[in-house]
Each structure stands twice: as C-alpha cells, then as structure tokens.
Amino acid sequence: MPPKQDQAAFIKGRHILDNFFCAHILTHHLKATNTPAAILKIDFQRAFDHIKWSFLQDLLLSRGFGQRWNNWISVLLGSNSSAVLLNGVPGKSFAHKKGLRQGDPLSPLLFVLCIDVLFRLVDKAVLSDHLPAVGIGDAKVHSLHFADDVLLFFDGSIRSATIIKSILDAFSECSGLKINFNKSTLTPINIADEQAAGISTIFNCPLQPFPLSYLGLPLSPKNLRRADYLPLIENIDKRLAGWKCASLSRGGRLILLNSVLSSLPTYFCSVFALPSWVINEIDKIRRGFFWKGKNKTNGFHCLASWNQVCRPLNVGGVGIRKLQVANSALLMKSLWKYYTSPSLPWVTLLKQKHYKRRPAAIAKSAPKGCCPIWRGIFKMQAPFLISIDFILHDGIETPFWIGRWSGHTSLRNRFPNLYEASTNTRLSVNRWCRRFANLQNLGFDFPLNYKEDLELQQLSPMVNTLVLSPDISDSILWRWTGDDKFSIKSASDFLLYDGLNNCSLPFLWNLKVPLRVKLFIWLAVRNKVLTTDNLMKRGWHGPTICVLCNLEGESLTHILFSCSFASSVWNCIMPPAGLNFTGTRSMVEGLDARWTRMRRSAPAKYQNYIDLTFAAFCWEIWKERNRRIFENRQVRFDILGRTILETVYFWNVVLARSKP
C-alpha cells in the first residue's frame, strides 16, 4: 500500500507544490466561510537521526515486506558507525543504535513510510469520530506532509488539540521521532485570542499569524502584501554581492543571468501570478547586471530595449527569459495538472468548492470568492484553451463552442455567426447535446439570417451523429509538442510568438566563438554599439573623428568597412577565394547583409572560414578602436591582421575539437 496522497515527497507523480496548493485552498475556504480551525506546523528534531530501528522493522513487516528484505535493511543500518574528531584526530569508532543513514538514497523512502504512520493515526481518529473532519464538501484534508514538513488541520477546539497532542506523543514514543514544539507553530483561523492561547499552551508552541512560511512560500488565505514579495527581490539582489561582476564579460554575465538570476523566481512563479511591480523590480536587477554588472543602471548603459533582449535566439533576441512569460507558462502547468490529474487533493478540493455542477473549461472567469492563487492561475485559461485539443468521450468537461474537439478549430471559429446568435455559449458538449440536439433547429427558435441558416445546415448533421461515451471522461492533448504533453518551453514559445522575426544572422549563435563576441555582433547588427554617432544621440559631447583613420566621422559602418585602416586590415586577411568587403554596395549594406552576401558567394569549403574571419575581424577592429581611445596605444594594420588570423586559427581548433 503506497503512502497516502497527503505525502508528496519522494513519490513518483507527486510534487511539492501540490501540497502548497492544497493548504492554500483549504485555508482560504476556512477563512472565507468563517469556520473555526487551526493549523499546527510540526518541526521534527533531526528527523533522520532518531527513528528507532525496531519501529522501522515492525513497520516494514506490517506493510508486507518479507523477512529477507528486513534482514537487508538491518545489515544496511547496522553497518553504520561514527567517530569523534578531537584536534583533527578521529577517536575510537562506535556503532549506531538508531536513525537512518544520511545521504543514502534509500533513507528518504524509509522515512516516508515511517511518517506515513502519523497520517494514518490522524485518519483513524477522524474515522472513529474522535476528531471532527476538516475539508470542503466530501474532500477531507487533515494533514499534509512533504518529507518532514508537516501541517495538521483541526477544528480549533481544546478537545481536538488534546487528542492531537496525545497522538503526537504516542507517535513520538513509538517511532523515536522527537517533535520540537518550541520551533513548531500554531496558526488560528477564526478563533478567539483566548482560545488560541489555550491551544498554544497545550502544544507548548508559539502562535504564528498569516502569512505562514510553508515549503519555502508564504501561505495566506488572502492576497499577499507588498512585504511578502520583498524577500524574493532581496534574495535575487543578494546574489550579486558574492559575484565579482566587474571582472565578468557581458557573455559571462549573460550565462550567470540565465542560469542563476532568472532561475531564482521560478519556484515562486510556479504558484503566484507576480504583480507587475515585482516583475519590474526583478527586471531592474537583471537588466542592470546584464548591461553594467550592477544591481541597477540607467538608460544610458542599456544598449537595446529589454523586450528585444528577452526574445528567443531564433527570432532576434539573446535568449534571456522574459519573467512575465515564464510566470504565465508555469501557471499554465497548474491548469494542465488540473485537467489531467483529477485525483490530486487540491484538484478535488477545487471541484468540491467551485465546479461540482459546472466544469472549469466553460467558465468565463474565475469563480466569485475563489482563492487568490486560483484566480491568478485562471487568468491563463484563454491561452490554455487555444493550446489544447479535447478528446471527446462523455462531453462533460469539453466546452461546446470554445473547445477544439471537432477538428482543427473550435465551433466558435467555424460558425462565427451562429456563435454570436447563440444565447448559450458557455455549455459543455454533454449539456448542450442533452438540451438542444433533439430540438428543431438545435434550439435556435428565433429567425436566422442567410449566413446563420447556412452554418446551421452544416452544424446539424455534426451534432445529430455525435455519440458520447458516458463511462469515459474527456481528455486533452497539448498542441505544441510532438508527444501531446505539456512542457514549459513549448508554452513559453507560444506565449512569446508574435509573428515577428528580427534574426538576420540565424547562424550567429551556432558559431564556435566566445559569447562576448556573439553579443557584440548582435549589437553591431542593430547599430547599438556606442560609437560616437550613437553617443551623440544619448547627449554625449566630444570628438567625433574616427581614431583609426583620423579622416572621417565615426560610425559603426565606417570603422568596420569604409575606414581606410579597416580596408588595409581586410586586405591582409583576404581569403583565397578573393572575397572582399569593398564593392558597389559596401557603403550602403549593413553588417548582416554584407556577411550574408559573402557567405552565399563563397564556395562551401570556405563557409566556416568566412564566418570565423568575419567575426574575428569585427571584434579585433572594435578592440583596436577602444585601445586607441582608452589606453592611448595603437597597433599597425599588418600586426592586427596577423592577430585576426591567429584568433581565427584558435577558434577553428576549438571548433574541430568540439565536433562529435
């Protein structure tokens, strides 16, 4: 027998957030209905170290494990020993008499079986009417467990508190698990202060008002306050303090931004729809770190718009995750679980509270008075319905008009005139067929115009030949993946898609060159590099002459292509195919057009050489320009040409070694 659904840790198919959703929905219901209740959050003292071996052996036998398995577990536990280090010298080792081995992959599973006994003791007390049931309708939730993070829900009476205390003491005595009541907390719901203090005295634990910290998230029946979001922002800001940002290139900062800073809010975003001010504050930190290596920066140092930067690589961005889109995609995952995992406790609670008579798929908005988390998740219902296909069986969960169940589009799109004329646009297929399928004109009793009548003639045979399977529930398929299953990446790509593609060099990100070089070229293609002409647009005043040739005004096109110094450098590195930067179109073509033209005109065997040479040329010319301005040093064009060839050779060696 597997552990009860209340345990979400170390069990396939269960997730840590399922427990948090369940706790939030139940807490909100109790608070909104003015039901007296209390939440006891239990802290186990060094949980793995105190489990009695005799208790574990008896438990395994009672759960159906054979004697041979138990002997293996006994040998595994009994082979453990420790020694005390004194001045760095280990003393005589001694054998352990209790506890599970730290770091053993089997230990968490054994612990889950042990803690499951507590669930069943509480359930038995409820079934025997010693404890009143707590829940919503037929769905009862008395305890939630994720490993050793335990929440107990009860009716908030002195009698129930006394019974729970006796259950905890008995469990602690039998299992060896010690409960640290000083670190445990009691959170009252709709209970007078005097009664809450009395219950707190029984458990000898402090009172904790909402929000309650549970599984690393703030648990509250109400919308989170501004102060509840500040720890998330501060945590991201603190990460910058330990990094030597000034010594990182922009490419290095991009890697850290994507792998660390953009990942920190993921857990929070999986539950809460972040307010716009929170997203703006986090983006200020990310933007400042990317452009300047600081937690904040001004617009002068932001070379390109943040929206342009936060686009996927294949459509013209640099691949930074857009926080708003990531938040929405993660919330869509909760919708997917709602429709595909009806047995989850939090899904059962939601259906008991809001969707006993009317399925969520046909609802236009979140139910009145629903919990804040579900209200935020339900905002993604419209894009979610566009992204799924319904597999019709009983028709109870499938929307008749707005669901995609009859082909490649919804009936609303196939028969727009009938949809506008219908007064029952929010019905499931099951209810619509039971009400209108056998009626003349499918219930459209009022006069129809020509277009509506034409659509009705097409809809009627479709409905009249429809056969439902009442014993099988409807299912859904995800449209944006090959295996028809939801993924965060496919949801993000769908939400980001706007039909625009500003990627003029699609091969850029596949080049085996340093990331900082790719970012420079990305900026150069968009003329976002801080040459003097761009600096003047930002209010800068200073010399505008090109420091490479001292003849013309500086612009990116000039220093890379039309400058006499750049032309001399290019002549030193001209490839054997005889390609060159100059020509009738060289003065008007941009970097991307010139690069693409050269690739197309070159033999295939020179393709890689041209890419590496072009990238190295642009990068080294830019470095030479900066060297002359900021270091007052200069390199002759022939030496710079040799440097470029050496750089190309080095990159080419790296490319050859990285090939599979």
Chain centroid, CA 479 distance in Å = 19
Residue type, 567: S
Q: What is the pLDDT of residue 580?
A: 52
- Which residues partner with 82 through β-bridges? 94
Distance in angstroms (rounded) separating the CA atoms of residues 355 and 137? 12
Judge contact between 473 and 347, C-beta under 8 A.
no
Contacts of 350 (CB under 8 A, 6+ apart): 25, 338, 360, 374
Judge contact between 328 and 495, C-beta under 8 A.
yes
Distance in angstroms (rounded) separating the CA atoms of residues 565 and 613? 17
- DSSP structural state of residue 407: S
Distance in angstroms (rounded) separating the CA atoms of residues 358 and 368? 14
Structural tokens at position 431: 């209810």
| Phi, psi of 545, deg, nearest 5 | -75, 145
Distance in angstroms (rounded) separating the CA atoms of residues 2 and 9? 12
Distance in angstroms (rounded) separating the CA atoms of residues 248 and 250? 7
Q: How far is CA 171 from CA 5, 51, 57, 120, in A?
A: 20, 11, 15, 11
Q: What is the pLDDT of residue 296?
A: 79
DSSP 353-421: HT-SSS-GGG-SSPPTT--HHHHHHHTTHHHHHHTEEEE-SS-SSSBTTTS--SSSS-HHHHSHHHHHH
Ranges of H-type helices in 485-601:
488-496, 515-525, 532-537, 556-557, 564-572, 591-601
**pLDDT bucket at 658, cuts 50 / 70 / 90:** low
**pLDDT bucket at 599, cuts 50 / 70 / 90:** confident
The per-residue pLDDT for range 206-250, each reduced to its tens digit, is 999 999 999 999 999 999 999 999 999 999 998 888 788 778 889
Distance in angstroms (rounded) separating the CA atoms of residues 615 and 518? 8
The per-residue pLDDT for range 360-373, each reduced to its tens digit, is 888 888 888 899 99
Mean pLDDT of the chain: 88
Distance in angstroms (rounded) separating the CA atoms of residues 167 and 442? 61
Distance in angstroms (rounded) separating the CA atoms of residues 472 and 457? 30
Structural tokens at position 449: 């115009």
The per-residue pLDDT for range 170-190, each reduced to its tens digit, is 999 998 888 999 999 999 999
Distance in angstroms (rounded) separating the CA atoms of residues 638 and 542? 29
Residue with tokens 């969520």: 360
Helices (H) and strands (E) in the chain, counts: 27, 16
**pLDDT bucket at 2, cuts 50 / 70 / 90:** low
Distance in angstroms (rounded) separating the CA atoms of residues 320 and 129? 55
Distance in angstroms (rounded) separating the CA atoms of residues 296 and 236? 12
Distance in angstroms (rounded) separating the CA atoms of residues 541 and 579? 38
Q: What is the pLDDT of residue 583?
A: 42
For the chain, which residues make up each domain, given as ranges? 16-81+96-219, 226-321, 328-482+490-494, 508-658
Structural tokens at position 59: 């438990």
Judge contact between 152 and 189, C-beta under 8 A.
no
Chain centroid, CA 558 distance in Å = 44
Q: Could you give the count of Cα atoms lying within 13 Å of 282 in the half-sphere of its Cβ?
A: 28
Q: Is 584 helix (H, G, I), strand (E, B) or coil?
A: coil
Checking if the pLDDT of 660 tops 50, the result is: no
The per-residue pLDDT for range 610-627, each reduced to its tens digit, is 889 889 999 999 999 999
Distance in angstroms (rounded) separating the CA atoms of residues 570 and 568? 5
Q: What is the pLDDT of residue 485?
A: 95
Checking if the pLDDT of 501 tops 80, the result is: no
Rounded (5°) CA angle 321-324-326: 50
CA dihedral 600, 603, 606, 608 (to 10 degrees): 50
Q: Which of 294-308, 576-590, 628-642 has the highest mean pLDDT?
A: 628-642
Residue type, 584: T
DSSP 22-71: HHHHHHHHHHHTT--EEEEEE-EETGGGS-BHHHHHHHHHHTT--HHHHH
Report long-range pairs for 162-166 (Cβ below 8 Å, ≥24 apart).
Answer: 162/202, 163/125, 163/130, 163/131, 164/40, 164/122, 164/131, 165/202, 165/203
Whether the model pTM is above 0.85: yes
- DSSP structural state of residue 15: -
Structural tokens at position 74: 């006994």
Other Cβ atoms closer than 10 A to 491: 27
